[in-house]
Amino acid sequence: MAKKILMISPPPVFPVIPEAGGPYIASFLKSQGFDIEFLDLGIRCFHRLKDESCKKNNQNGMDLKMIYQDLQKPQNNYEQYIKTVNEFEKSCLYHSQLHAPYGLGFYFIPSEYLNEDDRIKKQHPFLDYGKEIMDESGIKNYDFVLFSVSQPKQFPITMELSKHIKSKNKNAVVIIGGAYVSVILDSIERKLFLQYFTSAFDHIDYMVPKLGELSIQKLLNKLMAEPLGGPDGYVLYREGGEIKILNNYSEAKLDDLPSPDFDGIDFSLYLTPKPIFPIRTSTRCYWGKCSFCRGNGNTFAEHLTFRQAHKVYEDMVYLHRKYDSPYFCFCEDATPPAMMTKLSKILIENGENFYWGTQGIRFEKSITEEDVRLWAKAGCKHLSFGLETGSQSLIEKINKGIILSKAAEIMKWCTENGIFTLCYALFGHPDETEDELFESIDFLDRNSKNIFTYSFCRYFLTPYQADYENYSKDEQLKVFFDNMIHYSNEIRYFGATKDYAMENWSKSNQTKMYKIYEKNDRKTKFLSYCGYNITLPSGFIKEELKNDAECLMT
């Protein structure tokens, strides 16, 4: 009898577009003859939470899907936009009020997994829903369970779900893959958090880092062999109380992989009128030199390979025919502009009415006005640019490799051709000066008419980026702990406490940025940009945001 495999995408997820990792692995394994099914657990947990809160309150709640779609429309009326934002946030708050202190914000990601306060020992609501849904899906009937873990917040939940799987089916083999496993590998090689990651193998059998298609295939073939074989591929496992690393790694070229398979995903649960399909066009960032980025070098893939434009076109045609939707998003950090131009020519030649955008693209010097015009004609609707800063001197410090005058020019071309632009920006880099901070704000001001949305985040120092080695061990510890508390909320798993981190907060390198904001007369202007924990349409720099923004200062 064929062994049964279940691929799971765990919570939390962004309920607009499915994550790409699981569908790509599932498609490859199916092409190799494996019997595999897909469970989109994250989006189902989100709706279970929402529906249950409505039921317990004996109310219907609000239509999050409708409100989300309203937020995506171009907004010319500031007051109406803020009213819609508030309505959306209140609805999210309503749906999660029974699970305090957890909250669903714009990205529907609860801020904590377990509360540190000893007075509140309450499980994350997604855990209970996840267990229920897995049981309903017949988890005890599967021989292998694969989790695709792409982000840190999914990992501790996956650990608990794995424990539940083992309680229902002790013979099931649990395998974890996805981008976050590559971060775990890096941690283990640096001898960081070994006790935590060693304990993860209490209920997880194997972890597969980097591009996992061939490693998972090798591992499954060995484990299904008679007599039972041992590990194979590039895998982490525990033996004799210690983590072992087997590096029998080989990597499939992106061109050789089949199109992703979204069978098992209920697209009606996502907050878009039609499905949006994530498509991979490269295995990692082709630039790979930014000092702040943990995706540099070979962290996530040994080799940089691309999917050729004609293969990307084949993916789009296949998915459109199978699932009846013309919407696509290229889901890597830096989609190559040259590929986009070649693809655009193919789409136009074949008369396709597809609509597409990027999760990330660089302001390359090689991009021309004709390129942008061609992209728009071929259906490009949005481009998400990694600007990071509007200060050329800071761009040089972080080795971003772009020229601001060219960035402004590209955004102008996009606006003229009806392509919405989003700019990602960092603030609070330890080497950022006061002048550089406000150079950045002024750049955004000057170009606001050509930037549809901004997305701000604070600089996040981790051991996995080049910047980390520039600071003393004491500075590394303080900045890292502070960030873990304020952003991923996983510090409890690293043997530290919130009290320790908060005690050292005032000594952190990044505190100087807050002191600058507090004393500077342009504080209100800066906070207006960063007022809501969502992406705001450009031009909405209003005093009304100040009160909501002041949470950044506490």
Phi/psi at 527 (5° precision): -65, -30
Residues spanned by the domain of 195: 4-46+131-247
Structure confidence at residue 191 as a pLDDT band (50, 70, 90): confident
- Would you say residue 360 lies in a domain? yes
Q: Among 549, 534, 417, 431, which Cα is nearest to 479's?
A: 431
- Would you say residue 265 lies in a domain? no
**Quick one: 228 and 168 in the same domain?**
yes
SS3 call for 96: helix
- Would you say residue 119 lies in a domain? no
Structure confidence at residue 230 as a pLDDT band (50, 70, 90): confident
The residue-averaged pLDDT of 120-144 equals: 81
For residue 448, what is the domain's CATH number?
3.20.20.70
523 versus 424: the higher-pLDDT residue is 424
Domain boundary among 212, 247, 282: 247
- Would you say residue 10 lies in a domain? yes
- Would you say residue 37 lies in a domain? yes
SS3 call for 168: helix
**Quick one: 537 and 394 in the same domain?**
yes
Domain boundary among 207, 232, 247: 247
**Quick one: 203 and 239 in the same domain?**
yes
Q: Would you call the peptide bond into 275 cis, given omega within 30 degrees of 0 as the criterion?
A: no
The residue-averaged pLDDT of 349-372 equals: 96
Q: In the chain, how many H helices and how many E strands?
A: 20, 14
Structure confidence at residue 501 as a pLDDT band (50, 70, 90): very low
Q: Where is mean pLDDT largest: 387-401, 471-485, 512-526?
A: 387-401
Where do we find the tokens 């030649």? 349
Amino acid of residue 342: K
Predicted pLDDT at 11:
86
Total domains, the chain: 2
**Quick one: 338 and 200 in the same domain?**
no
- Would you say residue 17 lies in a domain? yes
**Quick one: 219 and 294 in the same domain?**
no
**Quick one: 142 and 15 in the same domain?**
yes
Predicted pLDDT at 468:
64
Where do we find the tokens 């790694």? 249
Sequence-ordered alpha helix ranges (H) in 278-402: 309-323, 337-349, 369-377, 392-397
**Quick one: 203 and 320 in the same domain?**
no
pLDDT > 70 fraction of the chain, expressed in percent and rounded: 66
Is 327's pLDDT higher than 60?
yes
- Would you say residue 373 lies in a domain? yes
Model confidence over 14-32: pLDDT tens digits?
Answer: 777 899 999 999 999 999 9
Domain boundary among 181, 212, 247: 247
Is 98's pLDDT higher than 50?
no
**Quick one: 323 and 393 in the same domain?**
yes
For residue 144, what is the domain's CATH number?
3.40.50.280
Where do we find the tokens 């609509």? 355
Is 75's pLDDT higher than 70?
no
Predicted pLDDT at 16:
78
pTM, 2 dp: 0.79
**Quick one: 332 and 451 in the same domain?**
yes
**Quick one: 243 and 279 in the same domain?**
no
**Quick one: 285 and 388 in the same domain?**
yes
Model confidence over 194-214: pLDDT tens digits?
Answer: 888 898 999 999 999 999 999
Structure confidence at residue 437 as a pLDDT band (50, 70, 90): confident
Model confidence over 249-270: pLDDT tens digits?
Answer: 899 999 999 999 999 999 988 8
Q: Among 216, 189, 193, which Cα is nearest to 205's?
A: 216
Predicted pLDDT at 68:
53
Is 549's pLDDT higher than 70?
no
Is 143's pLDDT higher than 80?
yes
- Would you say residue 19 lies in a domain? yes
**Quick one: 164 and 282 in the same domain?**
no
- CA 106, CA 68: separation in Å to the nearest integer? 9
